[in-house]
Amino acid sequence: MNSGSSNLRRSDGQAAVEFAIILPILVLLVLGIGQFGVAFHNYLAITDAARVGARAAAVKRTSSPCTAATTAIQNTVSTTQWGEISGRITCTAGANVGDPVTITIKYPYEIGLPGVSASGDLTANAQERME
């Protein structure tokens, strides 16, 4: 038979208790990495879209280079991203060769974890010169 003092030294459930303490932290860490990864992916997508739009506006010989930029941006991003940015694209273009074309895209983001939340706009800018 075991004495009372030896029962205090047993560690049968120690690993389970440690795992129960660490598990919420690990879950928050993994979810945080996932949400930041999605936000970073969206940032890369709108940065590329802004560059493509600025290039399209710079090389298109149309009466409205911003229309060409918007079409190029729409063809570059996903349908979901287009729904978010379609009204958040700013285009300024000059009329002469060498004038700058600037595209700015704002994409809303929201990161929500228990105890931590952040939201705002991811902003991408691109500038080219009219050709």
pLDDT at residue 126, rounded to an integer: 95
Q: What is the mean pLDDT of the chain?
A: 87
- HSE at residue 121, side-chain half, CA atoms within 13 A, is 11
b/e sequence 63-100, b meaning 16+ C-beta within 10 Å: eebbebbbebbbebbeeebeebbeeebebebeeeeeee
> Is residue 121 within 8 Å of residue 106, measured between CB atoms?
yes
Angle formed at CA 114 by CA 113 and CA 119, multiple of 5 degrees: 40
pLDDT at residue 101, rounded to an integer: 92
> Is residue 105 within 8 Å of residue 88, measured between CB atoms?
yes
The CA distance from 131 to 98, in Å, is 6
Tens-digit pLDDT profile for residues 59-99: 987 778 899 999 999 999 999 999 999 899 999 988 888 88
The first and second tokens of residue 34, run together, are: 């996932």
pLDDT at residue 69, rounded to an integer: 93
> Is residue 122 within 8 Å of residue 109, measured between CB atoms?
yes
pLDDT at residue 109, rounded to an integer: 87
The CA distance from 6 to 33, in Å, is 44
Asked if the model's pLDDT at residue 3 lies above 70, the reply is no
Tens-digit pLDDT profile for residues 89-113: 999 988 888 889 999 999 998 888 8
Asked if the model's pLDDT at residue 46 lies above 90, the reply is yes
